[in-house]
Amino acid sequence: MLTIEHDFDATVVTLVDEGAAPLQEDVIVCAFEDCVTVEQFDARTGEMMKITLSLTQVRDLGAALNLPEGIYSTPPAG
């Protein structure tokens, strides 16, 4: 299951893990004008973990999901 919300400065997508146990905590993806953040609660530490990706990294990740194993170079954005 997922939800999509449009805030003032970001689009927020929340991914809810459903199905057979063990389940993972929700993943929150926030798309801003200049970056994308991915957050997930870590039950072991009791903290919200966050990573920030540039828009180039997001583009490369999207491309990587459709490629076979290997090393690739993507053309510069422009």
In a domain, 71, yes or no: no
pLDDT, tens digit, for every residue of 43-62?
Answer: 999 999 999 999 999 998 98
Q: Kindly state the tokens that stand for 3.
A: 């939800």
| pLDDT tier for residue 21 given thresholds of 50, 70 and 90 | confident
Query: What range does the domain containing 46 cover?
Result: 2-64
Percent of all residues in the chain with a pLDDT value above 90, rounded to a whole number: 65
Closest CA to 25 of 53, 4, 52, 46: 46
Q: What is the mean pLDDT of the chain?
A: 91
Number of domains into which the chain is organized: 1
* 51 CB-side CA count, 13 A: 9
In a domain, 16, yes or no: yes
Sign of dihedral through CA atoms 38, 49, 21, 66? positive
* Residue 59 placed within a domain: yes
Residue 8 lies in a domain: yes
pLDDT tens-digit profile of 35-44? 999 999 999 9
72 part of a folded domain: no
Q: Considering the domain boundaries, does residue 76 fall inside one? A: no
